[in-house]
Structure 1
Amino acid sequence: MPEEALQRAANEIAVLIYKKRTERGWTQKQLGEHIGEGEAAVSRAISGTLTPQAIKVRRKIYNILDIKEA
């Protein structure tokens, strides 16, 4: 997948997470507290980082915010 497409997908995911998080009235820090992760880990996961740890955190975020993984 070209880098541009990856970046576009990461941006779409970030927007969706932002929307779902703010619907609950949560900050990134509060989201992290709900999934047992720090704010920095949440930020990295939302930014589209592809490390195993970021992917694990992103899955926790999807689960708590009821986002279906594509």
Structure 2
Amino acid sequence: MTEKKLLSGAKEITSKIKIRLLERGMSQVELADLIGVGPQQLNRAIHADMSPKSVRIRKKIYTVLNIND
């Protein structure tokens, strides 16, 4: 049961970020450049990687895209 909740939460995070990018007409590469990380690092963070670095990147993403975490 816990794994299902974790997977559901990860999908929700990914969806929120992708929707906000589409709304702003912004690509992941543009977002990566804006917050100063590589595209691969950004992609891992968007797909809910739980490493400390990805968590920090997600916080920057939330700020730039105005997403409440």
Under a length normalisation based on structure 2, what TM-score does the superposition of the two structures give?
Answer: 0.94
Structure 2 gap ranges (5+): none
Q: What SS does the aligned partner of 1:37 have?
A: coil
Q: SS in structure 2 opposite 1:7? A: helix
Following the alignment from structure 2 to structure 1, what is the Cα–Cα distance between the partners of residues 42 and 15?
Answer: 14
Once residues 37 and 7 of structure 2 are traced to their aligned partners in structure 1, the CA distance between those partners, rounded to angstroms, is 24
User: Structure 1: 5+ residue runs without aligned partners?
Assistant: none
Matches within 5 A, 1:1-70: 2-69=2-69
**CA RMSD after TM alignment:** 1.1
Q: What is the alpha-carbon distance in structure 1 between the residues aligned to residue 35 and residue 51 of structure 2?
A: 18
* TM-aligned CA deviation for residue 3 of structure 1: 1.0
**TM-score between the two structures when normalised by the length of structure 1:** 0.93
Same amino acid, percent of matched pairs: 36
Aligned residues: 69
